[in-house]
Amino acid sequence: CQLLVTSLCVMLLGLSIATLSTVTHYGLRFTLISNVSLDSNAYRVIHHTAFYFGICLSMSLILAALLSSAAMVRESQCLTAMGFFCFALAFCGLIPAACWRYTHSTEVEDSMMDVYDFVYEEVRRNTSSFRRHELTAIHEAFQCCGKHSPFGDTTNVENKTCPSSQVHDEGQDCLEEIQDFLKKHMDFVFSLLGIAIGFTVYGMILTSFLWFSIHFSSNLYRKGKYILR
């Protein structure tokens, strides 16, 4: 019964990770920054890697949940071993992801803000009208307006690229808005990874107990039987 409940929770976690990965990859704010970023910026690589990693991780969790449930119903040692392997595979992916988030806590935020800085400075120098459209799209997506700068000629940039409501109301600084948005998003991701690690470890323990239970009960069932020759 505990294994079935755990399998259900793991399946929901897998679906949640898949949904979060899809939203992160195809969300308007993330897509805008990814399309604007240069090849020298790390954000585009992180953006694509996070999506494919999240999908693979969610598939491993969902497969582990399905195999564990089937193994319990059919009392199959083979299915139990396969379920344990999928849990172990997911665990081997979750631990490096959590460690990377802990050791590179600001890398995503810094790379995203670097992209905005680059586009903003390009528009400020009036070197590209195409960049002006990109900056306007970023301002509309994040509902922010410009940034605090030591230069005194930023008003013209903000008047041309910020939403009218943000210009009149002295809108939120975009660097602060991007940082706050990403911090909340990454904290949610880190919490989800922590919960997934806990259920994955518990799933490995339950599947290993189930394997030994099936193994020993099978041996006890055969004990005392004789074959006449």
CB 60 within 8 A of CB 93: yes
84-115 tens-digit pLDDT: 999 999 999 999 998 988 888 788 888 999 99
- What pLDDT score does 107 carry? 86
The answer for residues whose C-beta is within 8 angstroms of residue 20's C-beta and 6 or more apart is 54, 188, 189, 192
Hey, is 38 helix, strand or coil?
Answer: coil
176-211 tens-digit pLDDT: 899 999 989 988 998 999 999 999 999 999 888 888
- N-term to C-term CA, the chain: 43
- Residue 173 structure tokens: 């600084």
- What pLDDT score does 155 carry? 60
- What pLDDT score does 106 carry? 82
Average pLDDT per run of 10 along the chain, which is 229 residues long?
Answer: 82 93 92 86 89 94 91 85 92 91 83 90 77 89 77 63 65 84 90 92 90 70 49
- What pLDDT score does 171 carry? 58
Rounded CA separation 208/203 (Å): 8
Model confidence, pTM: 0.81
User: How would you class 28 by CB atoms within 10 Å of its CB: exposed for 0-12, middle for 13-18, buried for 19 or more?
Assistant: exposed
Which single residue is written with the structure tokens 């999506």? Answer: 51
